[in-house]
Amino acid sequence: MPKETFFNLPAEKQALIFDVAIAEFALHPYEQASVNRVVARADIAKGSFYQYFENKKDLYLYLLQRIGEAKLDYLAPVMGNARQHDFFTLLRDLYAAGIQFGIENPRYVEISKRLMESKGSPIYTEVMEANTSAASELFETLLRTAISNGEVRSDIDVPMFAYLIASMNTLVMEYYIEHIARVGDDQLLATVEQFIDFLKNGIGASAGKAPSTQGALS
């Protein structure tokens, strides 16, 4: 956590430092990110930085916390409807909201990705000890209730598919952001719909489900 001195700063200066730091950690993994560059770009003295933050890690954890809060805020409304929808609909909304969040905060996504990449690095363990991979656990719970409700096959390896579903969220997001221009929400929803349909029915021809994913919803 930053020191009092940081929060005593005028809001604009706080925001400037925050933005510059976000850009730095979005561009470089933790070990590579440079405090020197941050202070230079934020136009503050090196000494001042260390009056705002304990050290580099302090800044980094602060950024992660802010990012986590932002994402939670973003997903809260969707999770609020949890009981009203079936499993796959809820999943669709979670994915769509997650991707939308990624589109609006690409640098946050970069930072999260770089964290995931740093598996094995000391900082990764430190972060994850307090986090315990919340996403995977959430999906595990959702999967189990979905199985109870008869919405999902009961013969699957729940932890494995929870892991897959959590990770695929990132995959679909990356693919969407990199390969599909943000033409509009229609594209996003269509992509997510197609993916959810895949989760539900697979890609095998045998399923014979109605291919209702294209243009079915506005």
Under rule CB under 8 A, residue 161 binds its own copies: yes
Name the nearest CA neighbour of 93 among 201, 200, 196, 218: 196
Under rule CB under 7 A, residue 126 binds DNA: no
Among 171, 185, 186, 216, binds its own copies (CB under 8 A): 171
Distance CA 47, CA 177 (A): 39
Name the nearest CA neighbour of 90 among 101, 74, 79: 79
Contact indicator for 59, 67 with CB cutoff of 8 Å? no
Q: Which is nearer to its own copies, 83 or 119 (CB)?
A: 119
Q: What single letter denotes the amino acid at residue 32?
A: Q
CA 7 to chain centre: 26
Query: How many residues belong to the chain?
Result: 218
Which contacts (CB < 8 Å, 24+ apart) does range 32-36 have? 33/60, 35/59
Interface positions, 77-116, toward its own copies (CB under 8 A): 88, 110, 113-114, 116
Name the nearest CA neighbour of 22 among 68, 64, 71, 57: 64
Give the binding-site size for its own copies (rule: CB under 8 A). 49
Say what angle helices 56-80 and 122-131 make with each other, to 10 degrees.
Answer: 40
Closest distance to its own copies from the beta carbon of 32 (Å): 6
Q: Which is nearer to its own copies, 129 or 157 (CB)?
A: 157
Under rule CB under 8 A, residue 202 binds its own copies: yes
Which of its own copies, DNA, none lies near 56, with the C-beta cut-off 5 to 8 A by kind?
DNA
Under rule CB under 8 A, residue 164 binds its own copies: yes
Interaction pattern, residues 32-71, with DNA; x per rule: CB under 7 A: -xxxxx------xxxxx-xxx--xxx--------------
Q: Greatest CA separation found in the chain? A: 66
Contact residues toward DNA (CB under 7 A) are 4-5, 8-9, 33-37, 44-48, 50-52, 55-57
Contact residues toward its own copies (CB under 8 A) are 27, 29, 31-32, 88, 110, 113-114, 116-118, 120, 150-157, 159-161, 163-164, 167-168, 171-172, 175, 179, 191, 194-195, 197-207, 209, 211, 213-214
